[in-house]
Structures are given as C-alpha cells and as structure tokens.
Amino acid sequence: MEVAQQEIITEPKKKETVEVSGSVALLEALIAEGTDTIFGYPGGAIMPIYDALYDYNDKLKHILVRHEQGGIHAGQGYARSSGRVGVVFATSGPGATNLITGLADAQIDSTPLVVITGQVFAHLLGTDAFQETDVINITTPVTKWNYQVTDATEIPEVLAKAFHIAKTGRPGPVLIDITKNAQIQKFAYEGYVPCNHIRSYRPKPIVRHTYIEQAAALINAAKKPFILWGQGIILGSAELEFKAFIEKSGIPAAWTILGAGVIPTDHELNVGMLGMHGNYGPNVLTNECDVLIAIGMRFDDRVTGRLDKYAKQAKVIHLDIDPAEIDKNVKSTVPVWGDCKETLPLLTQLVDQKKHTEWLNLFRDYEQKEIDAVIHTELNPTSGEMTMGEVINQLNILTHGEAIIVTDVGQHQMVACRYAKLNHTRSNVTSGGLGTMGFALPAAIGAKFGAPERAVVAIIGDGGFQMTIQELGTIMQSGVDVKIIILNNRFLGMVRQWQELFNQRRYSFVDIQSPDFVAVAAAYGIAGKCISDRADLPEALKQMLDNKGSFLLEVMVTKENNVFPMVPQGCSVSEIRLK
C-alpha cells in the first residue's frame, strides 16, 4: 500500500527578542545608524537615557556642552564638516526651548540633525507639570519632522524614520520628544531595522528628461551663460559632477556663502561670491547674462537684491531637489527637479564642449576693478590699524587653503567668506540663512569632532564670541583642538556699518565692551595671545596653528572699517557699491 508523503511545513524563523528599556533601544538605534558622537546636556526628564548611556561609553562618545544652544550648534558643525547626521540630547522645558535657535538655523540651512528631547511622564502631559513645555508645537515650524513618543515600542521605528527623513532629499533637523515613562518602559526588542521608504514621503523628485534637454538647448545657444551654485551640491555629494559640468561647458560660476569650497577658490572658472557683500563682477554681470543656471541654491534675498530688477534679461534654469524652491522667488524658464548628483551628469552629456573666453574675461576685468578699489588695500595695508582682511590673507598663507574655516555672523563673516582660500568641499561652516551670532565657537567644536584629521579655525567677532563664550568649558573638558581667532573691532561691526551708511552715524548701542579674552581663555586652561601690531601677526598665527591643543588669538583690528563691495538693501545687484 502506497504511503502518502507527509508534507513538511517549515515555520518562519522568529526574530530573536530581548527585553530592553526604551532608553537602551534608543542608543542601539543610534549605533546602528553609525552615530559616534552625541552633543548634549542632561536633566531630569532625560535622565533614564543618560543612565543607559553610562554603559555605552565604549560605543558612543558624549560631549558635555555648557548650554543646549551650544550643543545644537556643535551638532550642526559636526554634520557640516562630516556629511553625517548630527545627534543632540536635551532635557524637557528650558532644555528643549534652548534648542529653538539651532533648530531654526539648521532648518533654513538644510543641516541634518536628529535631536532627542526628554519629556515629562505621559500621564502629566498637558498639566503644566514641572519643566513641561509643548515642544512638538513649539518646534513644528523649525523642524523637517517631529514626533512625540509615549510608548517604548515605538522607539526603533521612529528613530529609523527620523534618520531617514533628516538625511534624505533636502536634509534638515528632526526632533523626537520621548516621555520619561517610554524611556523607562521595557519591551520585547527585536532589533533595529533602518528605514528606506516612507509612504507619502518622496525625498527625490522624478527627473524629467524633457527639462534636461530643454536646459541643454538653452545652454548650448547661450552667448553669456552664468552659473550660480549653492550648498545643494555639497548636500548631494555632487562636487565631481559639478566640476565636470562647468569644465565641459566652460561657463563662469559664482557661489553663495554656503556653497563655498565645492571647487577650489583658485579654479579658473570660479569667479567669486554672490550677494550683498559678494564680488563686484558676479553681481553686476548677473544682470547682463543671457542664461542663468542656478544649481542647489534658493535665490535668497541677500543674493538677489531687488527681485523686480533681478536678471530680467536672462532665461533661468533652476536645478533643485526641493520643488518648493522652484519659482518661489525667481521664475524659471526651465525647472530641473531632482538630485543634482543625478541631473548634472545628464546635463553634462548634452552640453557642448565650449570656452566662453570673452565673457570670462569680462569677469576678470571687474575683478581687477575690485582689486584696485577694495581688495588690495584690505589685504595689504601698510599703515594704520590692522584690517580683518589682512588677518585672513595671512591665515591663507599658513593654511594653504587646507583648513576648515568656521565663522560667526557679522563683518568678520563676510570678510572671511570673501577672502578665505578653500581647496576642499565642507571647508566653510557658517550660519547662512538665519545669521546666528554665537554660532561659531560651538560649531567649530562640532566640526573638529566631525573631521578630526583636519585643522579647524573659528573666526569670530568680539560680540558673537560673548554669546556662547561658556563653550570654552566644553573645549577644556573634551580636550578638542580648535583654533580661535577673535577679530576685535570693539563694535557690533555690521550693525555699526549700517548705522554709519544709512543712519547718519547715529551709533545706537553698538559700542560693546569685552573682557580680557586671553585671561578668560586661560581660566579654562586654553593658551592665548592678544596682538595689535601688524608686525606680530604672521608669528602669532603660526604660534596658534602650531600649538598642541586649542588656542585663542585676539587680534585688535580697526574700529570703523566697512565691508565693501556692498549691495544696499532695496537696490539691484547691479547697483553694488565699491565704496
């Protein structure tokens, strides 16, 4: 008798589970995402996470900052120098609200962050409990995404989504608020699964080849094409693709401050900086080009000046990953949606190999006018007090364009961005869209942790330095090697410049007094020096760069020097002033 063969049924292998707390699940998620450094400040509502972190010292480095704003700016600096997601911890209430400026800064400058805040127990939400704030509603306008976790079982999936959203498409900050009960709660943990898709979230628009073809046709027919590039190229890791595009097309190219470093400063097709304090030629000739190609930039008002007088003669091609930026400020003739790492090679294939020699020479003619009227005197003065420009010039001689330059906000920022030599991408870390004074010192700390093999030089004004001066304590405790240059003009310089030019020199509350910065640094165990004599500058800069460990160099510069060229507010870019 035939025996029926028994059907063998194999049950799917169950995932191995282990019971862990929400805090442990959070830390495991960070490790799985490649996090190596956290910037943070503990408090009552995030204490369970810090308790769990005690056992992870061998896997996660935690940098104790002195203020939550310092922590988030450090996270920004880390992300900007490394290209990875910055991670920041803070507690509830004032800890969370102290992050708002950094979140807004990261949002407008497209910096990828995952920020974890502790929150009161879930049953206390809405009761005005001690150190409770509605952090979700407060941070909604200044984050790419935020979410409140009240159950520990959500943590692995929510963290996976957080990292995916923060780093894909147009990057930005994500905040995850975790109630204290969720941090303590234990659950059956089945491991961490990274996220690579979220329904209804499309980080990259579909590339439309018709628009690529239309853009190439406009470029090939152009007599005076001009490229404006921004940070989108850096965020898309498309530096090589961009270089191939401009070198094949032969088109002059200028940059926004966040785009600096994509190609070396001395590249033959790099014609300088755009904007209110940008270079003379790029601003004037924006209103003379026949095709304007914008790549990974958002036509900020500091770049365009008066929109009703901006590039009206030009056909505009706009390449951007964020469809919301297309036609927002400047109407495009051809919109090229997509990741520039994908769209640029497609465009490069279709453009003709050309040299626009006469057109490029026109930029050089304007450059010479600017050298004669502004640059020579600013970089090579022979008398009077030192200028900010000559400090940057001497720094270039010693760093050879190899350092990461981190700037605060003000006159020194514009001078540093104008004159610093940058040979590599991710070498310019500054607060662009928000213009946050106090950014540079903590951002430089983060930048050094993000790129430990590179020299990091923070260039800061005497006003901005005092906004986050407490982060010298972070340097002291962590031992991080950051070189700090304070360009001290004894004024809130940029505001003073505007008061001089547009308010009849009515200097209203811009004369700022400062402590002995070198003595303050010494109190934190940081070497320092103050100079006011031009002859001492080269040796002082060399001493700073050669010092093992952090060093603060205060340079006393002329009090009432103005940054030129300048496009006055309310004027066209072609109305830029040389003096």
What is the reported pLDDT for 505?
A: 93
Q: Is residue 295 part of a domain?
A: yes
Q: Is residue 377 part of a domain?
A: no
Residue located via tokens 């941070």? 139
565: preceding bond cis by omega (within 30 degrees): yes
Catalytic residue among 28, 33, 68, 471: 68
Assess whether 417 and 482 both reside in one domain. yes
* Residue pair 87/56 in contact by the 8 Å Cβ criterion: no
Which mean pLDDT values do the consecutive 10-residue runs of the chain (579 residues) have? 42 72 98 98 98 97 98 98 98 98 98 98 96 97 98 98 98 98 97 95 94 98 98 98 98 98 97 96 97 97 95 98 96 97 98 97 97 95 95 98 98 97 98 97 98 98 98 98 98 92 94 97 98 97 98 96 92 93
Q: Is residue 548 part of a domain?
A: yes
The CA distance from 505 to 498, in Å, is 8
Q: Which CATH number belongs to the domain containing residue 436 in this structure? A: 3.40.50.970
Strands 315-320 and 225-229 come out as unpaired
Assess whether 435 and 353 both reside in one domain. no
The CA distance from 127 to 22, in Å, is 23
Following CA atoms 96, 102, 105, 108 in sequence, which dihedral angle do they give, to the nearest 10 degrees? -40
Phi and psi, residue 286, nearest 5°: -55, -35
Helices and strands counted in the chain (H then E): 24, 20
Residues sharing a CB contact under 8 Å with residue 197, sequence separation 6 or more, in sequence order: none
Q: How many CA atoms lie within 13 A of 269 on its CB side?
A: 23
What is the reported pLDDT for 501?
A: 92
For 194-214, b where at least 16 C-beta lie within 10 A, e where not — what string? ebeeeeeeebebeeeeebbeb
Q: Which CATH number belongs to the domain containing residue 290 in this structure? A: 3.40.50.1220
User: What's the full length of the chain, in residues?
Assistant: 579
Residue 556, number of CB atoms within 10 A of its CB: 17
Catalytic residue among 494, 517, 554, 564: 494
Residues sharing a CB contact under 8 Å with residue 373, sequence separation 6 or more, in sequence order: 564, 578, 579
Assess whether 263 and 333 both reside in one domain. yes
Assess whether 236 and 311 both reside in one domain. yes
Assess whether 418 and 552 both reside in one domain. yes
Assess whether 151 and 222 both reside in one domain. no
Range of the domain at 115: 18-189
What is the reported pLDDT for 1?
A: 35
Residue at which a domain ends, from 161, 189, 217: 189
Q: Helix axis angle, 155-167 relative to 22-32, nearest 10°?
A: 30
Catalytic residue among 47, 131, 247, 328: 131
Assess whether 159 and 306 both reside in one domain. no
What is the reported pLDDT for 15?
A: 64
Q: Is residue 444 part of a domain?
A: yes
Is 130 considered catalytic here?
A: yes
Assess whether 181 and 261 both reside in one domain. no
Residue located via tokens 């640059």? 375
Residue 78, amino acid: Y
H or E element that contains 458: strand 456-461
The CA distance from 30 to 202, in Å, is 24
Contacts 24+ apart (CB under 8 A), 522-531: 524/472, 524/473, 524/475, 524/476, 525/476, 526/472, 526/475, 526/476, 526/550, 526/551, 526/552, 527/551, 527/552, 528/552, 528/553, 528/554, 529/553, 529/554, 530/554, 530/555, 530/556, 531/555, 531/556
Assess whether 263 and 307 both reside in one domain. yes
* Residue pair 518/490 in contact by the 8 Å Cβ criterion: no
Domain count, the chain: 3
Residue at which a domain ends, from 189, 220, 244: 189
Catalytic residue among 15, 130, 190, 223: 130
Phi and psi, residue 300, nearest 5°: -60, 155
The token pair at 312 is: 């009206």
Is 385 considered catalytic here?
A: no
Assess whether 181 and 214 both reside in one domain. no
Q: Is residue 102 part of a domain?
A: yes
Q: Is residue 288 part of a domain?
A: yes
What is the reported pLDDT for 17?
A: 86
Assess whether 237 and 164 both reside in one domain. no
Residue 185 Cα distances to 20, 120, 180, angstroms: 8, 14, 9
Burial grade of 527 (CB within 10 A; 0-12, 13-18, 19 or more): middle
Residue at which a domain ends, from 189, 221, 238: 189
Q: Is residue 578 part of a domain?
A: no
Is 68 considered catalytic here?
A: yes
The CA distance from 464 to 529, in Å, is 19
Catalytic residue among 144, 161, 167, 180: 180
Q: Is residue 330 part of a domain?
A: yes
What is the reported pLDDT for 14?
A: 56
Assess whether 350 and 303 both reside in one domain. yes
Residue 160, amino acid: A
